[in-house]
Every structure is written in structure tokens, then in C-alpha cells.
Amino acid sequence: MVRRPHRIALLQHIAEQGSITRAAKSAGLSYKATWDAIDELNNLAHKPLVERSVGGRGGGGAKLSAEGERVLRLYQRLQALQTQLLETSSEESNDLALLSRLMLRTSARNQLHGQVSGVRSQGRNDMITLQLAGGLSIEAQITHDSTLRLGLEIGTDVFALIKAGWLELLASDQSETTGHNCLAGNIEKILDADDGPSEVRIVLPSHQILCAVVDADRLHTLQIKVGGSVKVQFAPSNILIGTPL
């Protein structure tokens, strides 16, 4: 796993090298670790920071988006002007909050940034509605004590953390389980494993990436392939919520 802020520094390597393979080599990372880092950077930002094209010479092209270039400039400023940057404008204070998201460390494979858009009481638990990028929304079930401890209210910035093994893939025409979250997307990549489940990357309409771990029998049953459409479902109780420090 690549540590932050090394993942932010990866933006510099991508800007200089223009390909996934060369950026990975320059950063001293494996090809897979570089892809994973790019996915998480894009998922945690309001807009994608890296634009990619799969395949081709050099293992696929990659370049920074306008947002990625802006964040990279901020990171470079932060390195050189740490003390002064703490006294900057409210806009740059918001940018600092973005950097804090990008430097969050967690074992959960899927990390999505969102805002609380609803809080509904369910006995000792609360159902928290999260608004994600691209108009998508999901619901997370946490205890009422956790809601209070995290200070969750309408508009609070949060991270939805979901382990890859908690995601279940469904065919695009298959009905989801009642009460579960369900997001539709397209298969970007399937990474087969010789001695275990495969890793499936799903691109959401918001350009965020979800990573699911799927066994071979399930892949065969679904008959999914790269570029095909798929649904991803997960229970509200299988979402962990975090907030910036």
C-alpha cells in the first residue's frame, strides 16, 4: 500500500512521465500499486485528478486533469510554505481539507468522499444519507452514539469506507436486495488471480472507482467482461464513516 503524502507526490511523477508504467518506475512503485493510488486519489477528490487511457505503449497513458495540476501546485506550495499557508484565504483552507482527505490512511479499499444530506433515526442506530460526486447517493447505518461522536449533521464532509469483500456484483438486469445500496457502472478491469478471487474495478458515472473481490464461480455466472455494465450492491451496515480531523 502506498502511503500518503507519497500518493500526492505521485501526481508529480505522472505529470513528468505521461504513462502509468514510467510513473510507477519513477516513483519506485509497482504497476498495480500505482493504479490503486490513482483510483483513490480520484475517488477522494471532488473531480478526477488523473485522466487515463488503458493499454497501448508504456502500459497506458496518464496525465493530470486541470484539477490535478491545481492540487499538485498546492502540494508543492505546502511543502515550501507550511507556516504561511496556514494563514491563507478561505478558498485555500478548503484546499487544505482536500489534502487532508488525500493523506487519510485506512485499510478499506474503497474510499469515497461525500457530504451528509440526511440523518434519520432508527432506534439506537441512525441512517446517514451521503451525497457523492455526480449526484450519486448512498446510505450508511451507524449507531446514534457514532453520529454524535463524529458531529454528523447536514453538510458535514465525510468519507465512506467500504471493504472490497463487502461489495456484491449483480447483472445489470438483476434486482438488488431490498434495503441495500446499489450503484450502476461499467467494468474497467478484471485482475485475475491464480490462487484466489479476482479483483474487479467498476467505473461509476461520477468517474469514481469501486473495487470488488469476486470468486471465479460468481464471475462465470455473471458473464461479465471489460466494458460491460454491472451493478454493485452493499448493505448500509457495511459502510464505515470517517470525518476529517
CATH no. for 107-245: 2.40.50.100
pTM above 0.85, yes or no: no
The CATH 2.40.50.100 domain(s) of the chain lie at 107-245
Per-residue cell: 183:
450503484
CATH no. for 6-102: 1.10.10.10
**Model pLDDT, residue 58:** 47
Tell me the C-alpha distance between 102 and 74, whole Å.
Answer: 13
pLDDT digits (tens, 9 = 90+) for 176-201: 999 999 999 999 999 887 777 889 99
The CATH 1.10.10.10 domain(s) of the chain lie at 6-102
Q: How many residues does the chain have?
A: 245
- Which uninterrupted H or E stretch holds 143? strand 137-143
Residues 6+ apart with CB under 8 A from 60: 19, 20, 21, 52, 53, 54
Average pLDDT over residues 133-158: 91
